[in-house]
Amino acid sequence: MQRDEARAPAGDTLFTGVRLLDPASGLDQPGELLIRHGRIADLGNKLGRPDGATVLDGDGAVLCPGLVDMRAALGEPGFEYRETIASAAAAAAAGGITTLAALPDTAPAVDDPAIARLLVARGLETGSLDILPYGAVTRGCRGEEMAELGLLREAGAVAFTDGARAIGPSRLMALALSYARGFGCRIVQHPEEPSLANGGAATSGELATRLGLPGIPAAAEAIMVARDIRLAKLTGGAIHFAHVSTAEALELIRRARHEGLSVTCDTAPPYFDLNETAIGNFRTYAKLSPPLRCEADRQAVAAALADGTIDAVASDHTPRDADDKRLPFAQASPGGSGLATLLAVTLAQVHGGGIGIAAAMALLTVRPARLLGSAAGTLARGAAADLCLFHPERAWQVQAGELPGKAQNTPFDGRALEGRVLGTWKNGRQVFGAAEGRI
């Protein structure tokens, strides 16, 4: 990316020589885009050069909306030794992410409206990231007593979930779906039947048996999905399944949609890029929740990206301290960092021919934005100038210990990728990129 020496008045920046890609409108063409006072003033061909504008030549790179990550744990409050909002914001900016939905299973949990408002405010303080808080379904995310969903909604909660804990009791889930429906919100479920998953460390099968690891049957996911689809039908509520990882669960979701039920889902990059063999010789960076699956399930998730069954790709960012992972595999904490690798691993599906780039970017921008009720994820005139500039073919290698942000527990350690973020803008201000001396 080349930058003219002339400096513009605040908010006046012209991108030239870029490929404008906006899945929300179907735009995909070479062109220019003008930022004025933090908003998209115009876009198209040969806009002209406003007096005094800063001109950025993208040299053919893709300019798209800032990415919208609909599922990430931030560590703060309570687990700042793993990640802070500031360090997560830095990693998000490096990954092209400008809007992020934060999970509520912190300490304390986001079961109090004051904590939800605090997360929104802390996001604004970073200057680079809008934080959309999830409200806890139950107090403390313990799965026992319902939280005050209405007050949480008023405080800015975009949906309700207990994060990495499944909502186990059927009656409790039915009540949650009914209440959330009244507030126009979804319940986001970690789809894993708790009694089947308890104590497990890897997907049940030959590999887990050979390694002597306690298994979690893949059916634990489909069992929970089937139950919650039935409860959604019973209550008229809206259910969203997070990080779906199995062919059986995806088929259940397809059937539910065919019936006209309000059922949506997302997945995360590990579940379409890796399979269970990535745990290798007890490689704890690849211990995730849900666990990595067999190759047939990985292929089914990749196919579901292409056929539209999956609504969004989320980072599923779960920061862990080194001491959380430097344990025997069965005792190590599950979870992988994912903010900086979200775009590039998704683009691997494009490079492999599984999905087109516009469809892939929709999974990272407008589709999650719509699920969250956010106005982000578009290049529309008048919209906030939240932008990501990336080169889809620029190669790099993931190296744990060298990623932006505090969390380094990436399951993609050593993975060669194509697709590099060149710059990120939030409300028209550059928060990552060459001009900032960071790449």
Task: Show which residues are catalytic.
Answer: 316
* Nearest of 187, 217, 183, 184 to residue 199 by alpha carbon: 217
Beta strand pairing status for 97-102 and 67-72?
parallel
Cα separation, 335 vs 7, whole angstroms:
43
Distances (CA, A) of 61 to 1, 29, 40, 238, 264: 8, 11, 18, 38, 32
Cα separation, 246 vs 222, whole angstroms:
8
Cα separation, 208 vs 197, whole angstroms:
14
Whether 57 contacts 17, CB under 8 Å: yes
Neighbours of 382 (CB within 10 A): 9
DSSP H or E segment with residue 130: strand 130-133
Whether 284 contacts 325, CB under 8 Å: yes
- In DSSP terms, 203 is beta-bridged to 216
> DSSP alpha helices (H): ranges in 137-169?
149-154
DSSP 11-66: T-EEEEEEEEEETTTTEEEEEEEEEETTEEEEEES-----TT-EEEE-TT-EEEEP
* Residue 94: alpha-carbon gap to chain centroid: 14
Whether 98 contacts 426, CB under 8 Å: yes
Beta strand pairing status for 160-161 and 215-216?
unpaired
Residue 202: what are its φ and ψ, rounded to 5°? Answer: -150, 165
Cα separation, 96 vs 136, whole angstroms:
27
Cα separation, 229 vs 307, whole angstroms:
20
> DSSP alpha helices (H): ranges in 262-318?
270-273, 295-307
Whether 243 contacts 268, CB under 8 Å: yes
